[in-house]
Structure 1
Amino acid sequence: MSDHATPASGASRRPELVCPAGSLPALRAAVEAGADTVYIGLKDETNARNFGGMNFDLASAREAAQFTLRNGRKLLMAINTHPQPGHEARWRAAIDTAADIGVDAVILADPGLLRYAAKTHPHMRRHLSVQGSATSYEAIEFCREAFGISRAVLPRVLTLAQVEHVIQHTSVEIEVFGFGSLCVMVEGRCQLSSYATGDSPNGAGVCSPARAVRWHETEQGTEARLAGILIDRYAPEENAGYPTLCKGRFAVGEDTYYALEEPTSLNVVGMLPELLRIGVAAIKVEGRQRSPAYVREVTRVLREALDHACAQPQRFHVQPAWQQALGKLSEGQQVTLGAYSRPWK
């Protein structure tokens, strides 16, 4: 277990470090590496990382709840897709399951599910998912008044100043992403996967469903296709990524390049003191689809960096070893501050 540093007198409140788990081994890795909170999802379309061979059934979810409780950590359940017509009972049952196993909070995006959770399980905390696309304090305050949310996860489209503005105008806890894969779209509103495969990430729970993914060896290299659409072609020495439309290389005129978004990962280690100063309640790691080894290493590094920032925010400096470790785990081995920093604005 990691020893959690206590902020020095006058230092900012220490935010929760919220880490992902797509399996019990990943959950144990997160806890052992120092996560304050771990978030999981069920093995169905009620969560937005509905990949085959991942996630939790009732028995493993119950075991996850017991493990986090024994270790003094919190467990969240993401039920962050939208119910499909005629199948609403499946999503409500997921909320009932979360309450039954004793999670600390459910992460919800759909207003109907927020209402159901508030009425049926009023004592269970409700967090507004990033999939809810709430980018203003007015939207967050509406959800607080209507559904009693206690925390909101902000989409990764706001500058640091905009995040601070939201925090200053709501009593709801604000959670921001600190590391992991980026999405070119405003979360909760992507239609690219629906266009290609017919399955909406917000309904089926997965971007680029595995059933639509195909790999082909050709004379020109390894082709990655999604529902027949050529997403990328890799030379023999290149690392092949999972095919998603937003991160494919496409022929545009006479050039071939990442037309929508280059593979890169958000990394906010360098701005931790600023996140502490503006009062974020939690810093979240993306990656329930990642391996236990990924979860352990990212959690370990962020735990150490966050503890250093909390203990001495004025004297904080980024250690090269942190960035080196996180760089190896980043998409395309590239990192960015994303929308948090817009020097051109």
Structure 2
Amino acid sequence: MELVCPAGTPAALRAAVEAGAHSVYCGFADETNARNFPGLNFSRPELAEGVAFAHRHGAKVLVAINTFPRAGDEAIWHRAVADAEKAGVDAVILADIGLLAHAAKHHPKLRRNLSVQAAAANADVINFYAREFGVSRVVLPRVLTVAEIAAINRETEVETEVFVFGGLCVMAEGRCSLSSYATGQSPNMNGVCSPASEVEYVQEGAQLAARLGNFTIHRVGASEPAPYPTLCKGCFTSGDETGHIFEDAVSLNATELLPQLKKAGVTALKIEGRQRSRSYVAQVVRSFRAAVDALEAGRPMPTSALAALSEGQASTTGAYAKTWR
């Protein structure tokens, strides 16, 4: 199975490739990709250099142009597709139907992958994207069991890519409005979820409050770590319960499920983390490359040593086992 790894910066791209990534995915430093944060992403020259480096080492580069264009400003997204092709990338990762149609018409030789932002979660819609826009691969949303993924693969010839490590989004990707509601910016349109410009930490007596926009997401004591205030992983009160109502602060880690995912017909394994350091990227990629190589060779799977890199030092298999609270 192909190991698809995050590259938020040119340094992270080099680290991922040198650690054994089969492919890396990245984005331009603008609102055309869903990780549009200061200090991240690639200029046009940096992308061309990154592609050349990856290709010299036998790796591929995929560019995420996976936000939804604003009406009247489509040229920004059209230019990103053209510039990605000019840089020699191996595929673009798109979500918007209009942008897919544009790419299919004006860049027919450029491979088109369907972003998780499209939230394509059944064979019918995946086959529609393949038929109408020539989509070669779909990144499946993180809401499916292994059995559901296997069923999809029996009904489509489109390659499937699934997340196996990193941040766990509990919403339907491309449909979440929480960040937009709280801050006016969303990953779907602006490429920003819970933007740092809206984050504030305020001392309230003996407690430290973590706020996003005008909303208090966490309150912690003096000896407790203050988490980043992401809405879906905040602490809320519902009825008599106060806590992580939507999702705990944990990371997805599906290492133990790799044999089942291979049997289910999965083509590629995606690691989340374009906001992470190059050291983080290198460690995670090395661990998963060892696991993928062992699986391919029929050797026992190595024990995962990634707990320290998981959010809250805890991990979950997420929806793959479908154990919702």
- TM-score with structure 2 length normalisation? 0.96
Measured after TM superposition, the shift of residue 210 of structure 1 is 1.9
Corresponding residue to 1:57 among 26, 43, 58: 43
Matched residue of 2:188: which SS?
A: helix
Measured after TM superposition, the shift of residue 326 of structure 1 is 1.1
Structure 2 residue aligned with 1:244:
230
Corresponding residue to 2:282 among 293, 296, 304: 296
Determine if the alignment matches structure 1 residue 28 to structure 2 residue 8. no
Determine if the alignment matches structure 1 residue 129 to structure 2 residue 129. no
Measured after TM superposition, the shift of residue 193 of structure 1 is 0.7
Describe the shift of the 1:240–1:107 C-alpha distance in structure 2 as closer, same or farther (beyond 3 A): same
Matched residue of 1:65: which SS?
A: helix
Structure 2 residue aligned with 1:272:
258
Matched residue of 2:156: which SS?
A: coil
- Write out per-residue CA displacement over residues 253-310 of structure 1, whole angstroms, 9 at most, x where no aligned residue: 5653112211111111111111111221100001111111110111010011111111
Structure 1 residue aligned with 2:248:
262
Matched residue of 1:202: which SS?
A: coil
- In structure 2, runs of 5+ residues without a counterpart are none
Determine if the alignment matches structure 1 residue 190 to structure 2 residue 176. yes
Structure 2 residue aligned with 1:157:
143
- Write out per-residue CA displacement over residues 124-179 of structure 1, whole angstroms, 9 at most, x where no aligned residue: 10000000010001111000000001100000111101000111111111101111
Corresponding residue to 1:283 among 257, 269, 282: 269
Contact 1:273 1:316 in 2 (8 A): no
Number of equivalent positions: 324
Structure 1 residue aligned with 2:164:
178
Corresponding residue to 1:328 among 286, 305, 308: 308
Measured after TM superposition, the shift of residue 343 of structure 1 is 6.6
Identity score, percent? 54
Amino acid at match of 2:311: E
Corresponding residue to 1:316 among 276, 300, 305: 300
- TM-score with structure 1 length normalisation? 0.91
Q: CA RMSD in A?
A: 1.4
Measured after TM superposition, the shift of residue 318 of structure 1 is 4.5
254-263 vs 67-76, greater mean Cα deviation: 254-263
Moved over 6 A (4+): none
Matched residue of 1:339: which SS?
A: helix
- Write out per-residue CA displacement over residues 56-99 of structure 1, whole angstroms, 9 at most, x where no aligned residue: 11121111111111111000000011001221111111111101
Structure 2 residue aligned with 1:8:
none
Contact 1:137 1:166 in 2 (8 A): yes
CA distance in 1, matches of 2:49, 2:235: 42
Corresponding residue to 1:233 among 208, 216, 219: 219
Higher relative contact order (CA 8 A, sep 6+): 1
